Amino acid sequence: MIHKFNQVNKNIVIDVNSGAVHVVDPLVYRILDYYSIKSDLEIIGLLQEEYTVEDIQEALEEINTLKNEGLLFSEERYLEHESFKNKQPVVKALCLHISHDCNIRCKYCFASQGDFKGQRTLMDLEVGKKAIDFLLENSGKRRNLEVDFFGGEPLMNFDVVKDIVKYGRGREKEFNKEIRFTMTTNGVLLNDENMKFINEEMYNVVLSIDGREDINDHMRYTINGQGTYEVIVPKLLKMAELRGHKNYYVRGTFTKFNLDFSNDVLHLVDLGFKNVSVEPVVAAPQHDYAIGEEDLPTVFKHYEILAEEYVKRTKEGNPFLFFHFMIDLNQGPCIIKRIVGCGAGAEYLAVTPEGELYPCHQFVGNTDFMIGNVMDKSFKKELYYTFAEAHVYNKEKCNECWAKFYCSGGCHANAYHFNKDINVPYNIGCEMEKKRIESALMIQAKLAEEGV
Amino acid sequence: MKHIKTLSGATLANSAAKGGCGECQTSCQSACKTSCTVANQECENK
């Protein structure tokens, strides 16, 4: 399978199964429309009014060479590969819902504005310790483990965060593991003391802000209805500065209200942030802020605008990172990871303040998906293996899709919330993801051309 | 080649040989929490 597209006058061809990426001239781009269904003579006949026969034959030879080298039209062989067949899911990452309470109210919050449709509760240390034990005991031979402090707002329960980190640091040595703690925070409660701790102990920190002041404040406001922008910007900048502008992201959500989100990304960059992630809202169609199919052309246009600006600023020596444009073509994840996907429900689980285990943070509150509890060590193996098997090859739509080894089947939670089936991907999300991948590859092509 | 410039070779095919160690970061732990993107993670077993 191949996929070809043109963006900013670059003709790019992806060989899906091998992972090879090529930049081709307009002649090869045309030939590839016919290559698999016409003979060489027929192709020459179709194109000889526009190109010389010699050029067409030369281009055909180049395509044949790459095909013979396994770099075009390569076959799919991974399903039978030993590395795939022998994979054993183990739990390696937890999303600790340290606080089912929040000090701000975001209109689009999937956590039902912090409480996940339940009581406003905080995790106590005992539950946190049991969660760490659960992770250490169920992580098999994995050495690198991950624990994200999530909410609600984690800083509302910061003393317990500190105690859990201390406990984890003690226990990881016994198991010869390394726990990478991370935190996702809205930033309102950041102060010198907790920033110092976060800087020292957190492998990564995700700082929530949507972009321009009016955009942010329309969706992210305090309990009293005050916008958060003015309060958080200085704090988030200080946090980024303390971390030397590494191992953090400012992360926003864009909605139907700011389909021109490229301006929000660039606003955050212009404020001084170097690592930015702004993602489309995932919301049921009845919400006024939900992104619909009719919005896709605008969204695509703004991914293109952003990609061009990304190239421009990189060339000018003033680069920034946009999470969804980061693709390392040579040292990205292996094919097994790309088949297995995000690992929700198998490698990655969410833990509520009560110790309940869910496939991920987005399933929390839907008791049909409660997978166990760290307190009594209950664990529903059947549900666990259902998620472990929700990989690319078991998603019918993904099998036909060129992007399957980039998005890896997409988000199970989005699939369930829109289609009531974790194996049927959320279509609008797929379309946006494909545009992001194309934009990321265009960036690579442009930068390679410029020798950057 | 005159008509085709290869940006990257058979990286996926080559990665299968030593793939599947599982040490790399879980995608939702990095920056996204709502839109799965796996291809931008880094390999920990280079």
Distance of alpha carbon A403 from alpha carbon A399, whole angstroms? 9
For the complex shown, is ipTM > 0.90?
yes
A134 — pLDDT class (breaks 50, 70, 90): very high
Q: Average pLDDT of A256-283? A: 97
Q: What tens digit of pLDDT does each residue of A18-46 get?
A: 999 999 999 999 999 999 999 999 999 99
Would you place residue A116 in the very low, low, confident or very high pLDDT band (cuts 50, 70, 90)? confident
Check B12 against A282: CB less than 8 A apart: no
The span from the CA of A76 to the CA of A18, in Å, is 8
Q: Where are the beta strands (DSSP E) in A380-450?
A: none
The Cα of A83 is separated from the nearest Cα of chain B by a number of Å equal to 6
Higher pLDDT, A192 or B19: A192
A–B CB contacts, 8 A cutoff, strictly below:
234
Of all residues in chain B, the one with the smallest CA distance to A343 is: B26
Helix (H, G, I), strand (E, B) or coil at A144: strand
More confident residue, A330 or A395: A395
Beta bridge partners of A230: none
Asked if A20 lies within 8 A of B11 by C-beta distance, the reply is yes
Yes or no, beta carbons of A335 and B13 under 8 Å apart: yes
pLDDT at residue A375 above 80? Answer: yes
Interface test with A, best of B14, B15, B42 (most A CBs within 10 A): B15
Q: Do A332 and B19 touch (CB under 8 A)?
A: no
Q: CA A317 from chain center: how many Å? A: 26
Torsion sign, CA atoms A241, A244, A248, A254:
positive
- Interface-testing mutation among A335, A434, A437, with chain B (most B C-beta atoms within 10 A): A335
Which amino acid, one-letter code, is at A81? H
Interfacial A residues in 80-109 facing B (CB < 8 Å): 81, 83-84, 86-87, 90, 92-93, 95
User: pLDDT at position B31, please?
Assistant: 67
Name the closest residue on chain B to residue A329, using Cα atoms. B8
Determine contact: A290 vs chain B, CB below 8 A. no
**A248, A205 Cβ separation under 8 angstroms:** yes
* Shortest CA gap B32–chain A (Å): 7
Q: Which residues of chain B have pLDDT under 50?
A: none
A146, B32: Cβ pair inside 8 Å?
Answer: no
As a whole-number percent, the residues of chain A with pLDDT over 90 amount to: 90
Residue A444 has pLDDT above 70, yes or no: yes
Q: Which of B27, B42, B44 is the best substitution to test chain A (most A C-beta atoms within 10 A)? A: B27
- Taking the C-alpha atoms of residue A242 and residue A350, their distance in angstroms, rounded to an integer, is 29
Sheet containing A21-24: order of strands: A2-7, A10-15, A21-24, B4-8
Q: How many helices (H) and strands (E) does chain A have?
A: 17, 18
Minimal Cα distance from B46: which residue of A?
A: A331
What integer pLDDT is reported at residue B36 of this predicted model?
A: 64
- Put simply, the answer to whether B35 touches A429 (Cβ < 8 Å) is yes
* Peptide bond just before A152 cis, omega within 30 deg: yes
The yes-or-no verdict on residue A343 having pLDDT over 80 is yes
**Least confident interval from A51-55, A116-120, A341-345, A356-360:** A116-120
Confidence at residue A119, expressed as pLDDT on a 0 to 100 scale: 86
Q: Which amino acid is at B30?
A: S
pLDDT bracket for residue A145 (50, 70, 90): very high
Residues 306-325 of A with CB under 8 A from B: 323-325
Q: What is the pLDDT of residues A219-262, one digit of tens each?
A: 999 999 999 999 999 999 999 999 999 999 999 999 999 999 99
**Cβ-based neighbour number of residue A34 at 10 Å:** 14
Interface test with A, best of B28, B32, B44 (most A CBs within 10 A): B28
Do A148 and B43 count as a contact with CB atoms less than 8 A apart?
A: no
pLDDT tens digits, residue range A289-324? 999 999 999 999 999 999 999 999 999 999 999 999
Report the DSSP beta bridge partners of residue A144.
A178
Contact across the interface for B34 and A362, Cβ inside 8 Å: yes
Partner-chain contact B40 A362, CB within 8 Å: no
Residue A421 CA, chain-centre distance (Å), reads: 20
Chain A residue closest in CA terms to B11: A19
Segment A184-194 mean pLDDT: 97
What mean pLDDT do residues A440-444 have?
96
Task: Tell me if B35 and A432 make a contact (CB, 8 A cut-off).
Answer: yes
CA dihedral for A81, A87, A93, A94, sign (positive or negative)? positive
As a whole number of angstroms, the distance between CA A150 and CA A351 comes to: 10
Q: Binning pLDDT at 50, 70 and 90, where does residue A357 land?
A: very high
Per-residue pLDDT band for A450 (boundaries 50, 70, 90) equals confident
